Amino acid sequence: MKLLIISDAWHPQINGVVRTLEATANELSRLGHETRVTGPDKTRRLSFALPFYPEITLEFFAGRRLAKVFREYRPDFIHIATEGPLGWAARRLCRNRTLPFTTAYHTRFPEYLAVRAPRILSSFVRMTAYAVLRRFHAPASAVMVATASIEQELRSRRFLRLARWSRGVDTNLFRPYGNDPPIYAALPRPILLYVGRVAVEKNLRLFMDIGTIGSKVVIGDGPDLALLKQTYPDVHFLGAMSGENLARHYAPADLFVFPSTTDTFGLVLLEACAAGLRIAAVPAPGPLDIFADGASKSFVVIDRDLGRAIASALQLPDNPVCPRAFAYKFTWEACTQQFFGLLQAPTPKAARRLARWRNWIARI
């Protein structure tokens, strides 16, 4: 089968959406399916950097380019991963040609926007953003969500055809390593680690403001990096990392800290588990869903008071075996099979569209 994924988030960006799509595409290829991911074309004149996130490029008016991709690639399935301008252009093409497609809800954009809006307007901004997203996802044969709480939240906001698509982690890459990175050697213990985007919606200041022993380390890039470096000179900001370099900086830490309340999942939580770390988090979608079954109580503390969560988590046994065993439950193979199954289970109306699409391809 040939699958086309359209995403406003793609290389060279480094974030959870990109890593999820990359892992899924690789696993689909291993299973014998052909996958093409189409992201923004930065060479086009109508491509611009996203406000607040200059590392993210948005491509506008991409309908003609995408139509050529559709025509030349002839996919069996179409998945629209993001709700940006590229996603809207792909949605419009599919609607105009009565082609079935699936979508995914990766990012809680309404919550991100509400955080950045003036307080008096935050509720209106949130409500309006959810209305726009509900319209975007409405024609999809399946709207994929990562966790039960996000599914419940969207269902309460009248989103339709919600279906679960979990996440995985590469336990061969993220694992305990023998040697510590040189920068860690001089840092007072315990090392408290955060990995992710350095932006206001990640609630990083909550972590930064907590008085605690040891050292705070932040790995990631984002619009607030320069300001936070200036405001918190005692915090060690190491910038963006990926691959084995990132994995080697997880493993020697003593505790992983997750202050975000806006994530739909939090791949970094699984990476921390695979690296054998204890975890302190606030109660939010992501940690509440991932660690809901009680199997993680020996290495995870979730508390509204993040300082108390950190102090309690540091008292837990530092045993990498338990978080590693937990991480093994989240494989990319299982997630990809779940994803592919949702592509193959369209609504009756979408099934008719799929039949017309394949007949149209056959006549070309």
CA 44/CA 61 separation, integer angstroms: 10
| Mean pLDDT, range 237-254, rounded to an integer | 95
203 & 287 share domain: yes
By the 8 A CB rule, do 52 and 27 touch?
Answer: no
The residue among 331 and 362 whose pLDDT is bigger is 331
193 & 147 share domain: no
117 & 225 share domain: no
197 & 81 share domain: no
User: Percentage of residues in the chain with pLDDT exceeding 90?
Assistant: 79
Split at pLDDT 50, 70, 90, the class of 101 is very high
pLDDT at 295: 87
By the 8 A CB rule, do 236 and 216 touch?
Answer: yes
Split at pLDDT 50, 70, 90, the class of 116 is confident
Q: Are strands 143-145 and 102-104 parallel, antiparallel or unpaired?
A: parallel
pLDDT tens string 65-93: 999 999 999 999 999 999 999 999 999 99
> Can you tell me whether residue 209 is helix, strand or coil?
coil
- Establish if 177 belongs to a structural domain: no
Other beta carbons within 10 angstroms of residue 23's beta carbon come to 19
213 & 236 share domain: yes
pTM score:
0.90
292 & 195 share domain: yes
CA 129/CA 131 separation, integer angstroms: 5
By the 8 A CB rule, do 220 and 198 touch?
Answer: yes
Average pLDDT value over all residues in the chain: 92
Domain limits for position 133: 2-168+332-363
pLDDT score of 355 more than 60: no
Output the domain CATH number for residue 271. Answer: 3.40.50.2000
pLDDT score of 354 more than 60: no
Q: Are strands 255-258 and 236-239 parallel, antiparallel or unpaired?
A: unpaired
111 & 162 share domain: yes
264 & 351 share domain: no
pLDDT at 166: 95
The residue among 119 and 8 whose pLDDT is bigger is 8
User: Token pair for residue 249?
Assistant: 């900086």
Split at pLDDT 50, 70, 90, the class of 42 is confident
pLDDT tens string 3-38: 999 999 999 888 899 999 999 999 999 999 999 999
pLDDT score of 169 more than 80: yes
